[in-house]
Chain A
Amino acid sequence: MISARGVCVRLGASDILHGVDLTVTDGEVVALLGANGSGKSTLVRSLVGVLPLAAGSVELLGSPLGPSVDWERVGYVPQRVSAQSGVPSTAREVVSSGLLHGRRLRLPRGWRTRTDEALELVGLRDRAQDSTSELSGGQQQRVLIARALVRRPDVMILDEPVAGVDQPSQEAFAATMRRLVSQGLTVLVVLHELGELAPLVTRAVVLRHGQVVHDGAPPAASPGTTTRRTSTSTPTTTTRATTRAPPSTSPTPG
Protein backbone atom coordinates (compact mmCIF):
# COMPACT_ATOMS: atom_id res chain seq x y z
CA MET A 1 0.00 0.00 0.00
CA ILE A 2 2.72 2.43 1.06
CA SER A 3 6.33 1.93 0.19
CA ALA A 4 9.05 4.47 0.93
CA ARG A 5 12.70 3.85 0.07
CA GLY A 6 15.58 5.96 1.35
CA VAL A 7 13.44 9.03 1.88
CA CYS A 8 15.41 12.19 2.62
CA VAL A 9 13.64 15.47 3.26
CA ARG A 10 15.40 18.78 3.62
CA LEU A 11 13.63 21.84 4.96
CA GLY A 12 15.69 24.97 4.57
CA ALA A 13 19.24 24.08 5.53
CA SER A 14 18.43 21.18 7.83
CA ASP A 15 18.01 17.52 6.96
CA ILE A 16 14.82 16.41 8.64
CA LEU A 17 14.79 12.83 7.39
CA HIS A 18 17.78 10.79 6.28
CA GLY A 19 17.19 7.56 4.46
CA VAL A 20 13.88 6.44 5.92
CA ASP A 21 12.47 3.13 4.68
CA LEU A 22 8.86 2.36 5.43
CA THR A 23 6.53 -0.27 4.07
CA VAL A 24 2.90 -0.69 4.99
CA THR A 25 1.14 -3.69 3.53
CA ASP A 26 -2.53 -4.44 3.02
CA GLY A 27 -4.56 -4.62 6.22
CA GLU A 28 -1.81 -3.44 8.56
CA VAL A 29 -2.29 -0.76 11.21
CA VAL A 30 1.09 0.88 11.64
CA ALA A 31 1.75 3.44 14.36
CA LEU A 32 4.50 5.95 13.70
CA LEU A 33 5.95 6.96 17.05
CA GLY A 34 8.74 9.20 18.22
CA ALA A 35 9.53 12.28 20.23
CA ASN A 36 8.55 15.76 19.14
CA GLY A 37 10.76 16.83 16.29
CA SER A 38 11.80 13.30 15.35
CA GLY A 39 10.33 13.71 11.87
CA LYS A 40 7.04 11.82 12.11
CA SER A 41 4.90 14.54 10.58
CA THR A 42 7.54 15.33 8.00
CA LEU A 43 7.55 11.69 6.94
CA VAL A 44 3.78 11.40 6.43
CA ARG A 45 3.62 14.77 4.72
CA SER A 46 6.29 13.67 2.28
CA LEU A 47 4.45 10.38 1.74
CA VAL A 48 1.42 12.24 0.37
CA GLY A 49 3.44 14.70 -1.70
CA VAL A 50 3.04 17.80 0.46
CA LEU A 51 6.79 18.03 1.06
CA PRO A 52 9.27 17.43 -1.76
CA LEU A 53 11.73 14.57 -1.44
CA ALA A 54 15.41 15.49 -1.50
CA ALA A 55 16.23 11.85 -2.26
CA GLY A 56 14.54 8.47 -2.26
CA SER A 57 11.22 7.38 -3.64
CA VAL A 58 7.66 6.85 -2.48
CA GLU A 59 5.05 4.56 -3.95
CA LEU A 60 1.39 4.77 -2.97
CA LEU A 61 -0.84 1.88 -4.01
CA GLY A 62 1.86 0.71 -6.38
CA SER A 63 2.27 3.96 -8.28
CA PRO A 64 5.10 6.47 -7.84
CA LEU A 65 4.00 9.67 -6.12
CA GLY A 66 2.29 11.94 -8.64
CA PRO A 67 -0.77 12.11 -10.84
CA SER A 68 -0.71 8.35 -11.51
CA VAL A 69 -1.53 7.54 -7.88
CA ASP A 70 -5.13 6.44 -7.36
CA TRP A 71 -5.78 9.29 -4.90
CA GLU A 72 -9.40 8.30 -4.57
CA ARG A 73 -8.29 5.35 -2.44
CA VAL A 74 -6.06 7.40 -0.13
CA GLY A 75 -7.52 9.23 2.87
CA TYR A 76 -5.24 11.79 4.47
CA VAL A 77 -5.94 13.53 7.76
CA PRO A 78 -3.50 16.39 8.33
CA GLN A 79 -2.59 17.70 11.73
CA ARG A 80 -5.34 20.03 12.80
CA VAL A 81 -4.45 23.66 12.37
CA SER A 82 -6.26 25.88 14.79
CA ALA A 83 -6.40 28.84 12.41
CA GLN A 84 -9.79 29.05 10.80
CA SER A 85 -10.07 29.93 7.17
CA GLY A 86 -11.35 33.40 6.43
CA VAL A 87 -14.85 32.45 5.30
CA PRO A 88 -17.17 30.34 7.46
CA SER A 89 -17.76 26.84 6.13
CA THR A 90 -20.05 24.13 7.40
CA ALA A 91 -18.96 20.67 8.44
CA ARG A 92 -20.82 19.34 5.39
CA GLU A 93 -18.92 21.62 3.02
CA VAL A 94 -15.55 20.69 4.49
CA VAL A 95 -16.34 16.96 4.34
CA SER A 96 -17.67 17.22 0.78
CA SER A 97 -14.28 18.54 -0.35
CA GLY A 98 -12.96 15.06 0.37
CA LEU A 99 -14.95 13.78 -2.61
CA LEU A 100 -12.65 15.63 -5.01
CA HIS A 101 -9.40 14.12 -6.15
CA GLY A 102 -6.96 14.20 -9.01
CA ARG A 103 -9.50 12.97 -11.55
CA ARG A 104 -12.57 14.72 -10.20
CA LEU A 105 -12.76 18.48 -9.84
CA ARG A 106 -16.51 18.73 -9.34
CA LEU A 107 -18.74 17.18 -6.70
CA PRO A 108 -20.25 13.86 -7.85
CA ARG A 109 -23.96 13.25 -7.91
CA GLY A 110 -25.30 12.27 -4.51
CA TRP A 111 -22.50 14.09 -2.72
CA ARG A 112 -24.82 15.19 0.05
CA THR A 113 -25.78 11.64 1.00
CA ARG A 114 -22.20 10.44 0.96
CA THR A 115 -21.08 13.43 3.00
CA ASP A 116 -23.75 12.85 5.61
CA GLU A 117 -22.82 9.16 5.79
CA ALA A 118 -19.23 10.11 6.53
CA LEU A 119 -20.35 12.55 9.21
CA GLU A 120 -22.51 9.78 10.66
CA LEU A 121 -19.40 7.58 10.91
CA VAL A 122 -17.71 10.12 13.18
CA GLY A 123 -20.91 10.88 15.08
CA LEU A 124 -21.43 14.40 13.77
CA ARG A 125 -24.41 13.89 11.49
CA ASP A 126 -26.48 16.37 13.50
CA ARG A 127 -23.79 19.06 13.16
CA ALA A 128 -23.62 18.92 9.35
CA GLN A 129 -24.98 22.43 8.87
CA ASP A 130 -22.98 24.05 11.66
CA SER A 131 -20.01 26.20 10.90
CA THR A 132 -16.78 24.39 11.80
CA SER A 133 -15.82 27.32 14.02
CA GLU A 134 -18.73 26.41 16.30
CA LEU A 135 -17.27 22.94 16.89
CA SER A 136 -14.79 21.95 19.56
CA GLY A 137 -11.24 21.04 18.63
CA GLY A 138 -12.05 17.36 18.87
CA GLN A 139 -15.11 17.72 16.70
CA GLN A 140 -13.14 19.70 14.13
CA GLN A 141 -10.66 16.85 14.07
CA ARG A 142 -13.53 14.42 13.48
CA VAL A 143 -14.70 16.57 10.59
CA LEU A 144 -11.24 16.20 9.04
CA ILE A 145 -11.43 12.44 9.57
CA ALA A 146 -14.85 12.37 7.90
CA ARG A 147 -13.37 14.35 5.01
CA ALA A 148 -10.83 11.56 4.51
CA LEU A 149 -13.44 8.82 4.97
CA VAL A 150 -16.01 10.23 2.58
CA ARG A 151 -14.14 8.88 -0.43
CA ARG A 152 -14.13 5.39 1.15
CA PRO A 153 -10.37 4.99 1.13
CA ASP A 154 -8.45 1.71 1.19
CA VAL A 155 -5.56 3.29 3.06
CA MET A 156 -5.66 6.09 5.60
CA ILE A 157 -2.75 8.26 6.65
CA LEU A 158 -3.39 10.22 9.82
CA ASP A 159 -1.15 12.79 11.46
CA GLU A 160 -1.69 12.97 15.24
CA PRO A 161 -5.45 12.47 15.00
CA VAL A 162 -5.97 12.53 18.77
CA ALA A 163 -3.50 15.21 19.85
CA GLY A 164 -5.28 17.74 22.02
CA VAL A 165 -8.62 16.06 21.42
CA ASP A 166 -11.22 15.72 24.16
CA GLN A 167 -11.90 12.27 25.62
CA PRO A 168 -15.32 11.63 23.99
CA SER A 169 -13.86 12.48 20.58
CA GLN A 170 -10.90 10.16 21.22
CA GLU A 171 -13.26 7.32 22.12
CA ALA A 172 -15.47 8.02 19.10
CA PHE A 173 -12.40 8.04 16.90
CA ALA A 174 -11.14 4.73 18.28
CA ALA A 175 -14.57 3.16 17.77
CA THR A 176 -14.69 4.37 14.17
CA MET A 177 -11.22 3.03 13.46
CA ARG A 178 -12.02 -0.35 15.03
CA ARG A 179 -14.98 -0.73 12.71
CA LEU A 180 -13.08 0.35 9.59
CA VAL A 181 -10.02 -1.76 10.34
CA SER A 182 -12.24 -4.81 10.80
CA GLN A 183 -13.53 -4.08 7.31
CA GLY A 184 -9.99 -4.21 5.95
CA LEU A 185 -8.78 -0.59 6.06
CA THR A 186 -5.01 -0.12 6.04
CA VAL A 187 -3.78 2.60 8.41
CA LEU A 188 -0.60 4.57 8.96
CA VAL A 189 -1.06 6.79 11.98
CA VAL A 190 1.29 9.23 13.68
CA LEU A 191 0.78 9.04 17.42
CA HIS A 192 2.29 10.44 20.54
CA GLU A 193 1.15 7.49 22.58
CA LEU A 194 -0.86 4.49 21.53
CA GLY A 195 -3.76 5.31 23.84
CA GLU A 196 -7.17 4.15 22.69
CA LEU A 197 -5.74 2.72 19.48
CA ALA A 198 -3.34 0.29 21.20
CA PRO A 199 -5.46 -2.83 20.61
CA LEU A 200 -5.60 -2.13 16.88
CA VAL A 201 -1.95 -1.41 16.16
CA THR A 202 -0.21 -4.32 14.47
CA ARG A 203 3.23 -2.76 14.12
CA ALA A 204 5.08 0.27 15.38
CA VAL A 205 7.78 2.29 13.66
CA VAL A 206 9.78 4.61 15.89
CA LEU A 207 11.62 7.58 14.48
CA ARG A 208 14.48 9.33 16.21
CA HIS A 209 16.45 12.21 14.75
CA GLY A 210 14.99 11.53 11.33
CA GLN A 211 15.88 7.83 11.24
CA VAL A 212 13.99 4.64 11.93
CA VAL A 213 15.23 3.16 15.22
CA HIS A 214 12.55 0.53 15.68
CA ASP A 215 10.30 -1.30 13.28
CA GLY A 216 8.34 -4.18 14.70
CA ALA A 217 5.97 -5.04 17.49
CA PRO A 218 4.26 -2.14 19.23
CA PRO A 219 6.16 -0.86 22.28
CA ALA A 220 3.84 -2.59 24.72
CA ALA A 221 5.17 -5.97 23.63
CA SER A 222 8.83 -5.00 23.42
CA PRO A 223 9.62 -2.77 26.37
CA GLY A 224 12.92 -0.98 26.61
CA THR A 225 13.98 -1.39 23.01
CA THR A 226 13.00 2.05 21.88
CA THR A 227 13.92 5.61 22.65
CA ARG A 228 13.76 6.95 26.16
CA ARG A 229 10.64 8.93 25.51
CA THR A 230 8.68 6.05 24.09
CA SER A 231 9.92 3.64 26.73
CA THR A 232 8.74 5.99 29.46
CA SER A 233 5.40 6.17 27.78
CA THR A 234 5.21 2.40 27.44
CA PRO A 235 3.88 1.66 30.96
CA THR A 236 1.07 4.15 30.57
CA THR A 237 0.38 2.74 27.16
CA THR A 238 0.14 -0.79 28.46
CA THR A 239 -1.95 0.09 31.46
CA ARG A 240 -4.33 2.16 29.40
CA ALA A 241 -4.47 -0.57 26.82
CA THR A 242 -5.28 -3.28 29.34
CA THR A 243 -7.75 -1.29 31.36
CA ARG A 244 -9.53 -0.09 28.29
CA ALA A 245 -9.16 -3.17 26.15
CA PRO A 246 -12.68 -4.60 26.47
CA PRO A 247 -14.89 -1.62 25.65
CA SER A 248 -18.05 -3.60 25.14
CA THR A 249 -20.24 -0.51 25.08
CA SER A 250 -19.70 1.52 21.99
CA PRO A 251 -19.20 5.09 23.16
CA THR A 252 -21.80 7.59 22.08
CA PRO A 253 -19.95 10.47 20.52
CA GLY A 254 -20.75 14.13 20.63
Chain B
Amino acid sequence: MIDELVYMLTDPLMQRALIAALLVGLTAPIVGTYLVQRRLSLLGDGIGHVALTGVALGWLVGAAMGLVPQDVLAIPGAVIAAVVGSVAIEIVRSRGRTSGDVALALLFYGGIAGGVLLIGIAGGTQSNLMAYLFGSISTVTGADLVLTVILGVVILAVGLGLRAALFTVSQDEEFAIASGLPVRFLNIAVAVVAALTVTVAMRVVGLLLVSALMIVPVAVAQLVTRSFSRTMLLAAIVGVTVCVTGLSITYWHNWSPGATIVVLAIVVYAVVATVAPAIARGRRRHHHDPHPDIPDDVRVRPESTSVQGAPAAERKGGDDPCSA
Protein backbone atom coordinates (compact mmCIF):
# COMPACT_ATOMS: atom_id res chain seq x y z
CA MET B 1 0.00 0.00 0.00
CA ILE B 2 2.73 2.46 1.05
CA ASP B 3 4.75 1.43 -1.98
CA GLU B 4 1.79 2.10 -4.22
CA LEU B 5 1.33 5.56 -2.70
CA VAL B 6 5.02 6.41 -3.12
CA TYR B 7 4.84 5.16 -6.68
CA MET B 8 1.81 7.36 -7.34
CA LEU B 9 3.45 10.42 -5.82
CA THR B 10 6.62 10.00 -7.84
CA ASP B 11 4.78 9.68 -11.13
CA PRO B 12 5.31 13.11 -12.80
CA LEU B 13 1.97 12.88 -14.58
CA MET B 14 0.23 12.20 -11.31
CA GLN B 15 2.21 14.97 -9.56
CA ARG B 16 0.94 17.53 -12.03
CA ALA B 17 -2.58 16.18 -11.77
CA LEU B 18 -2.49 16.25 -7.97
CA ILE B 19 -1.26 19.84 -7.84
CA ALA B 20 -4.02 20.88 -10.23
CA ALA B 21 -6.62 18.99 -8.19
CA LEU B 22 -5.37 20.55 -4.97
CA LEU B 23 -5.64 24.06 -6.40
CA VAL B 24 -9.09 23.43 -7.79
CA GLY B 25 -10.29 21.86 -4.56
CA LEU B 26 -9.08 24.96 -2.70
CA THR B 27 -10.24 27.74 -5.01
CA ALA B 28 -13.59 26.47 -6.26
CA PRO B 29 -15.31 26.31 -2.83
CA ILE B 30 -13.91 29.71 -1.81
CA VAL B 31 -15.47 31.35 -4.83
CA GLY B 32 -18.52 29.12 -4.47
CA THR B 33 -19.17 30.49 -0.99
CA TYR B 34 -19.78 33.95 -2.46
CA LEU B 35 -21.97 32.53 -5.21
CA VAL B 36 -24.12 30.60 -2.74
CA GLN B 37 -24.37 33.67 -0.55
CA ARG B 38 -25.73 35.74 -3.41
CA ARG B 39 -27.99 32.92 -4.49
CA LEU B 40 -26.17 32.49 -7.77
CA SER B 41 -25.41 28.80 -7.34
CA LEU B 42 -25.93 28.10 -11.00
CA LEU B 43 -23.66 30.90 -12.22
CA GLY B 44 -20.71 28.51 -12.45
CA ASP B 45 -22.73 26.26 -14.70
CA GLY B 46 -23.70 29.13 -16.95
CA ILE B 47 -20.08 30.25 -17.23
CA GLY B 48 -19.01 26.66 -17.91
CA HIS B 49 -21.34 26.45 -20.88
CA VAL B 50 -20.05 29.73 -22.28
CA ALA B 51 -16.48 28.53 -21.80
CA LEU B 52 -17.29 25.66 -24.17
CA THR B 53 -17.91 28.18 -26.91
CA GLY B 54 -14.58 29.74 -25.98
CA VAL B 55 -12.84 26.36 -26.31
CA ALA B 56 -14.30 25.89 -29.79
CA LEU B 57 -13.48 29.47 -30.72
CA GLY B 58 -9.87 28.96 -29.64
CA TRP B 59 -9.80 25.81 -31.71
CA LEU B 60 -11.21 27.66 -34.73
CA VAL B 61 -8.61 30.42 -34.45
CA GLY B 62 -5.85 27.83 -33.93
CA ALA B 63 -6.94 25.92 -37.01
CA ALA B 64 -7.16 29.10 -39.08
CA MET B 65 -3.63 30.07 -38.05
CA GLY B 66 -2.37 26.57 -38.77
CA LEU B 67 -1.14 26.04 -35.23
CA VAL B 68 -0.13 22.57 -34.09
CA PRO B 69 -1.69 21.13 -32.06
CA GLN B 70 -4.95 22.73 -33.05
CA ASP B 71 -6.23 23.09 -29.50
CA VAL B 72 -3.31 25.14 -28.21
CA LEU B 73 -5.62 28.17 -28.00
CA ALA B 74 -8.53 26.27 -26.47
CA ILE B 75 -7.78 27.22 -22.86
CA PRO B 76 -7.05 30.90 -23.55
CA GLY B 77 -10.27 30.90 -25.56
CA ALA B 78 -12.13 29.42 -22.62
CA VAL B 79 -10.67 32.00 -20.23
CA ILE B 80 -11.68 34.91 -22.46
CA ALA B 81 -15.17 33.58 -23.17
CA ALA B 82 -15.79 32.77 -19.52
CA VAL B 83 -14.72 36.24 -18.36
CA VAL B 84 -16.80 37.98 -21.03
CA GLY B 85 -19.78 35.76 -20.26
CA SER B 86 -19.62 36.26 -16.52
CA VAL B 87 -19.32 40.02 -16.80
CA ALA B 88 -22.29 39.99 -19.19
CA ILE B 89 -24.35 38.03 -16.65
CA GLU B 90 -23.39 40.49 -13.93
CA ILE B 91 -24.39 43.48 -16.04
CA VAL B 92 -27.75 41.91 -16.91
CA ARG B 93 -28.31 41.04 -13.25
CA SER B 94 -27.42 44.50 -11.93
CA ARG B 95 -29.62 46.25 -14.47
CA GLY B 96 -32.43 44.07 -13.27
CA ARG B 97 -34.13 44.13 -16.65
CA THR B 98 -34.07 40.39 -17.18
CA SER B 99 -34.14 38.15 -14.17
CA GLY B 100 -30.82 36.45 -13.46
CA ASP B 101 -32.63 33.21 -14.03
CA VAL B 102 -33.47 33.91 -17.66
CA ALA B 103 -30.03 35.37 -18.33
CA LEU B 104 -28.48 32.12 -17.10
CA ALA B 105 -30.79 30.01 -19.25
CA LEU B 106 -29.77 31.99 -22.33
CA LEU B 107 -26.11 31.37 -21.54
CA PHE B 108 -26.64 27.64 -21.00
CA TYR B 109 -28.20 27.08 -24.40
CA GLY B 110 -26.16 29.62 -26.31
CA GLY B 111 -22.90 28.31 -24.86
CA ILE B 112 -23.45 24.64 -25.70
CA ALA B 113 -24.92 25.29 -29.14
CA GLY B 114 -22.18 27.76 -29.99
CA GLY B 115 -19.48 25.31 -28.92
CA VAL B 116 -20.82 22.41 -30.96
CA LEU B 117 -21.41 24.62 -33.98
CA LEU B 118 -17.96 26.21 -33.92
CA ILE B 119 -16.04 22.99 -33.34
CA GLY B 120 -17.69 21.60 -36.48
CA ILE B 121 -16.72 24.68 -38.48
CA ALA B 122 -13.16 24.38 -37.17
CA GLY B 123 -12.99 20.88 -38.62
CA GLY B 124 -13.07 19.09 -35.28
CA THR B 125 -15.63 16.63 -34.01
CA GLN B 126 -17.88 16.67 -31.03
CA SER B 127 -15.69 14.06 -29.41
CA ASN B 128 -12.92 16.69 -29.31
CA LEU B 129 -15.12 18.60 -26.91
CA MET B 130 -15.55 15.65 -24.57
CA ALA B 131 -12.21 16.24 -22.85
CA TYR B 132 -13.41 19.75 -21.93
CA LEU B 133 -16.92 18.73 -20.99
CA PHE B 134 -15.87 15.95 -18.62
CA GLY B 135 -12.26 16.82 -17.80
CA SER B 136 -8.96 15.32 -18.82
CA ILE B 137 -6.71 15.73 -15.86
CA SER B 138 -4.38 12.98 -17.07
CA THR B 139 -3.36 15.18 -19.98
CA VAL B 140 -2.29 18.17 -17.89
CA THR B 141 0.99 19.46 -19.32
CA GLY B 142 3.66 21.52 -17.61
CA ALA B 143 2.42 24.66 -19.39
CA ASP B 144 -1.17 23.92 -18.32
CA LEU B 145 0.01 23.60 -14.77
CA VAL B 146 1.79 26.95 -14.84
CA LEU B 147 -1.38 28.65 -16.11
CA THR B 148 -3.44 26.84 -13.47
CA VAL B 149 -1.12 27.99 -10.70
CA ILE B 150 -1.13 31.61 -11.89
CA LEU B 151 -4.92 31.70 -12.15
CA GLY B 152 -5.23 29.95 -8.79
CA VAL B 153 -3.08 32.60 -7.13
CA VAL B 154 -5.17 35.38 -8.67
CA ILE B 155 -8.39 33.71 -7.47
CA LEU B 156 -7.05 33.31 -3.94
CA ALA B 157 -5.72 36.87 -3.83
CA VAL B 158 -9.10 38.31 -4.75
CA GLY B 159 -11.27 35.78 -2.94
CA LEU B 160 -9.39 36.01 0.36
CA GLY B 161 -7.83 39.48 0.12
CA LEU B 162 -11.16 41.21 -0.51
CA ARG B 163 -13.12 38.87 1.71
CA ALA B 164 -14.66 41.50 3.97
CA ALA B 165 -15.74 43.68 1.06
CA LEU B 166 -17.05 40.77 -1.00
CA PHE B 167 -18.93 39.49 2.05
CA THR B 168 -20.52 42.89 2.58
CA VAL B 169 -21.64 43.30 -1.00
CA SER B 170 -22.89 39.71 -1.25
CA GLN B 171 -24.69 39.92 2.07
CA ASP B 172 -26.56 43.18 1.55
CA GLU B 173 -25.95 45.05 -1.67
CA GLU B 174 -28.15 47.97 -0.64
CA PHE B 175 -26.14 48.57 2.50
CA ALA B 176 -22.90 48.27 0.54
CA ILE B 177 -24.06 51.01 -1.84
CA ALA B 178 -25.10 53.18 1.10
CA SER B 179 -21.60 52.72 2.54
CA GLY B 180 -20.01 54.09 -0.60
CA LEU B 181 -18.34 50.78 -1.44
CA PRO B 182 -17.38 50.28 -5.10
CA VAL B 183 -20.23 47.82 -5.54
CA ARG B 184 -20.01 47.49 -9.30
CA PHE B 185 -16.29 46.79 -9.16
CA LEU B 186 -16.76 44.20 -6.42
CA ASN B 187 -19.59 42.47 -8.26
CA ILE B 188 -17.50 42.26 -11.40
CA ALA B 189 -14.56 40.99 -9.35
CA VAL B 190 -16.72 38.10 -8.12
CA ALA B 191 -17.89 37.38 -11.65
CA VAL B 192 -14.37 37.41 -13.10
CA VAL B 193 -12.99 35.25 -10.32
CA ALA B 194 -15.84 32.79 -10.86
CA ALA B 195 -14.95 32.69 -14.56
CA LEU B 196 -11.28 32.02 -13.81
CA THR B 197 -12.25 29.27 -11.39
CA VAL B 198 -14.36 27.60 -14.05
CA THR B 199 -11.49 27.53 -16.51
CA VAL B 200 -9.05 26.28 -13.90
CA ALA B 201 -11.44 23.52 -12.84
CA MET B 202 -12.23 22.64 -16.44
CA ARG B 203 -9.21 20.35 -16.75
CA VAL B 204 -9.95 18.51 -13.55
CA VAL B 205 -13.68 17.88 -13.55
CA GLY B 206 -14.85 19.22 -16.90
CA LEU B 207 -17.13 22.13 -17.72
CA LEU B 208 -20.32 20.21 -17.01
CA LEU B 209 -19.25 19.36 -13.46
CA VAL B 210 -17.34 22.55 -12.56
CA SER B 211 -20.22 24.03 -10.66
CA ALA B 212 -20.48 20.96 -8.44
CA LEU B 213 -17.03 21.69 -7.01
CA MET B 214 -18.01 25.28 -6.31
CA ILE B 215 -21.33 24.49 -4.68
CA VAL B 216 -21.35 21.02 -3.09
CA PRO B 217 -18.50 21.64 -0.60
CA VAL B 218 -20.27 24.83 0.50
CA ALA B 219 -23.51 22.91 0.90
CA VAL B 220 -21.66 20.38 3.07
CA ALA B 221 -20.10 23.10 5.22
CA GLN B 222 -23.40 24.92 5.69
CA LEU B 223 -24.88 21.87 7.33
CA VAL B 224 -22.61 22.27 10.34
CA THR B 225 -21.49 25.92 10.50
CA ARG B 226 -23.03 29.15 11.73
CA SER B 227 -20.58 31.67 10.38
CA PHE B 228 -19.48 32.78 6.95
CA SER B 229 -15.76 32.42 7.61
CA ARG B 230 -16.15 28.91 9.03
CA THR B 231 -18.30 27.93 6.07
CA MET B 232 -15.63 29.10 3.66
CA LEU B 233 -12.85 27.34 5.57
CA LEU B 234 -14.68 24.06 5.93
CA ALA B 235 -15.82 24.15 2.29
CA ALA B 236 -12.20 24.54 1.17
CA ILE B 237 -11.14 21.61 3.36
CA VAL B 238 -13.91 19.43 1.94
CA GLY B 239 -13.02 20.57 -1.59
CA VAL B 240 -9.33 19.74 -1.26
CA THR B 241 -10.10 16.40 0.39
CA VAL B 242 -12.55 15.16 -2.24
CA CYS B 243 -10.40 16.40 -5.14
CA VAL B 244 -7.20 14.75 -3.95
CA THR B 245 -8.92 11.59 -2.73
CA GLY B 246 -11.05 11.25 -5.84
CA LEU B 247 -8.08 11.71 -8.13
CA SER B 248 -6.02 9.19 -6.17
CA ILE B 249 -8.79 6.61 -6.46
CA THR B 250 -8.68 6.91 -10.23
CA TYR B 251 -4.98 6.14 -10.15
CA TRP B 252 -5.90 2.55 -9.28
CA HIS B 253 -9.33 2.34 -10.85
CA ASN B 254 -9.99 3.34 -14.40
CA TRP B 255 -12.82 5.70 -13.53
CA SER B 256 -13.46 9.22 -14.79
CA PRO B 257 -11.62 11.54 -12.34
CA GLY B 258 -14.16 14.36 -12.63
CA ALA B 259 -17.14 12.11 -12.03
CA THR B 260 -15.38 10.31 -9.16
CA ILE B 261 -14.58 13.60 -7.42
CA VAL B 262 -18.11 14.93 -7.77
CA VAL B 263 -19.75 11.67 -6.64
CA LEU B 264 -17.42 11.64 -3.66
CA ALA B 265 -18.44 15.20 -2.76
CA ILE B 266 -22.11 14.26 -2.94
CA VAL B 267 -21.52 11.17 -0.79
CA VAL B 268 -19.84 13.43 1.79
CA TYR B 269 -22.88 15.70 1.66
CA ALA B 270 -25.25 12.78 2.20
CA VAL B 271 -23.24 11.45 5.14
CA VAL B 272 -22.93 14.85 6.81
CA ALA B 273 -26.60 15.64 6.22
CA THR B 274 -27.51 12.40 7.97
CA VAL B 275 -25.10 12.73 10.86
CA ALA B 276 -25.07 16.52 11.48
CA PRO B 277 -28.50 16.88 13.14
CA ALA B 278 -27.58 14.21 15.69
CA ILE B 279 -24.24 15.86 16.47
CA ALA B 280 -25.86 19.29 16.71
CA ARG B 281 -28.38 17.93 19.22
CA GLY B 282 -25.59 16.42 21.26
CA ARG B 283 -23.38 19.48 21.57
CA ARG B 284 -25.99 22.20 21.89
CA ARG B 285 -24.84 24.48 24.69
CA HIS B 286 -28.15 25.81 25.92
CA HIS B 287 -31.54 24.15 25.88
CA HIS B 288 -32.73 23.50 22.40
CA ASP B 289 -35.89 25.31 21.43
CA PRO B 290 -36.73 24.84 17.75
CA HIS B 291 -38.75 28.08 17.69
CA PRO B 292 -36.92 31.28 16.86
CA ASP B 293 -36.03 33.31 19.90
CA ILE B 294 -38.99 35.66 20.02
CA PRO B 295 -40.27 37.03 23.32
CA ASP B 296 -44.04 36.92 23.64
CA ASP B 297 -45.80 39.97 22.29
CA VAL B 298 -49.20 38.67 23.27
CA ARG B 299 -49.90 39.66 26.81
CA VAL B 300 -52.01 37.09 28.55
CA ARG B 301 -54.38 38.79 30.99
CA PRO B 302 -53.54 37.63 34.51
CA GLU B 303 -56.50 35.69 35.82
CA SER B 304 -57.51 37.45 39.01
CA THR B 305 -54.77 39.83 40.12
CA SER B 306 -54.78 42.33 37.27
CA VAL B 307 -52.10 44.67 38.52
CA GLN B 308 -50.43 47.11 36.13
CA GLY B 309 -46.97 45.63 36.41
CA ALA B 310 -48.11 42.05 36.03
CA PRO B 311 -47.64 41.58 32.27
CA ALA B 312 -44.05 42.67 32.37
CA ALA B 313 -43.31 40.43 35.30
CA GLU B 314 -44.97 37.56 33.56
CA ARG B 315 -43.05 38.15 30.39
CA LYS B 316 -39.77 38.05 32.24
CA GLY B 317 -40.35 34.99 34.32
CA GLY B 318 -42.61 32.75 32.39
CA ASP B 319 -41.69 32.76 28.75
CA ASP B 320 -40.33 29.26 28.73
CA PRO B 321 -41.97 26.76 30.99
CA CYS B 322 -39.46 24.08 30.01
CA SER B 323 -36.47 25.96 31.35
CA ALA B 324 -38.04 26.68 34.74
- Could you tell me which A residues sit within 8 Å of B by CB distance? 45, 48-50, 67, 69, 71, 74, 76, 78, 85-90, 92-94, 96-103, 105-107, 129-131, 134-139, 144, 147, 157, 166-168
The answer to whether B294 and A137 touch across the interface, beta carbons within 8 angstroms, is: yes
In Å, the complex CA distance between A67 and B135 comes to 45
Contact B293 A139 (CB under 8 A): yes
The docked-state distance in angstroms from the alpha carbon of A168 to that of B299 is: 13
If A100-B164, A167-B295 touch, whether A86 touches B180 (CB-CB below 8 Å) is no
- A-B contact sample (17 more), CB < 8 A, given A87-B218, A106-B162, A106-B164: A48-B178, A49-B177, A49-B180, A78-B174, A88-B225, A88-B227, A93-B227, A97-B175, A98-B179, A100-B164, A100-B165, A102-B182, A105-B164, A107-B164, A131-B226, A134-B293, A135-B292
List residues of chain B with CB within 8 A of the CB of A107.
164
**Given known contacts A134-B292, A135-B292, A136-B295, A71 and B179 CB-to-CB distance under 8 angstroms:** yes
Give the residue name and chain of the B residue nearest to A102 (CB). B180
Determine if B226 and A87 form an interchain contact, defined as CB atoms under 8 angstroms apart: no
Decide if B179 touches A50 in the complex (CB within 8 Å): no
Q: Number of B interface residues at 8 Å Cβ cutoff, please give it.
A: 38
| Interface assignment of B199: CB less than 8 Å from any CB of chain A | no
Instruction: Report the Cα distance A98→B231, complex, angstroms.
Output: 20
A50 to chain B, nearest CB (A): 5
| Cβ contact of A87, chosen from B176, B181, B231, B297, cutoff 8 A | B231
Instruction: Note all chain A residues with C-beta closer than 8 A to B33.
Output: 87
Complex CA–CA separation, A101 to B294 (angstroms) = 32
Say yes or no: is B94 at the interface (Cβ < 8 Å to chain A): no
With A106-B165, A138-B294, A166-B297 already in contact, the answer to whether A50 and B177 are too (CB < 8 A) is yes
Compute how far the CA of A101 lies from the CA of B177 in the bound complex, rounded to whole angstroms: 9
Across-interface contacts of B136 in A (CB, < 8 A): none
Shortest Cβ gap from A118 to chain B (Å): 14
Which A residues touch B174, using CB under 8 A? 45, 50, 78
Residues on A with C-beta less than 8 A from B59 are none
Q: How many Å lie between the Cα of A220 and that of B179 in the bound state?
A: 34
Q: Which chain B positions have C-beta within 8 A of A167?
A: 295, 297
Cα-based distance from A138 to B315 in the complex (angstroms): 16
A105 touches B181 (CB 8 A): yes
B225 contacts A86, CB within 8 Å?
no
Which residues on B sit within 8 Å (CB–CB) of A138? Answer: 294
CA distance A166 to B297 in the complex (A): 6
B175 x A78 contact (CB < 8 A) = yes
Chain B positions 225-244 with a Cβ under 8 Å from a chain A Cβ = 225-229, 231
* B168 at interface by CB-CB < 8 Å: yes
- B293 close to A135 (CB less than 8 A): yes
- Please provide the chain B residues from 31 to 84 with a CB less than 8 Å away from any CB of chain A in the complex: 33, 36-39, 41
A105: which B residues are within 8 A, CB to CB?
162, 164-165, 181-182
Give the distance to chain B from A193, nearest Cβ to Cβ, in Å. 16
In this assembly, does B314 line the interface, its C-beta being within 8 Å of a C-beta of chain A?
no
Does the CB pair A102–B181 fall under 8 Å?
yes
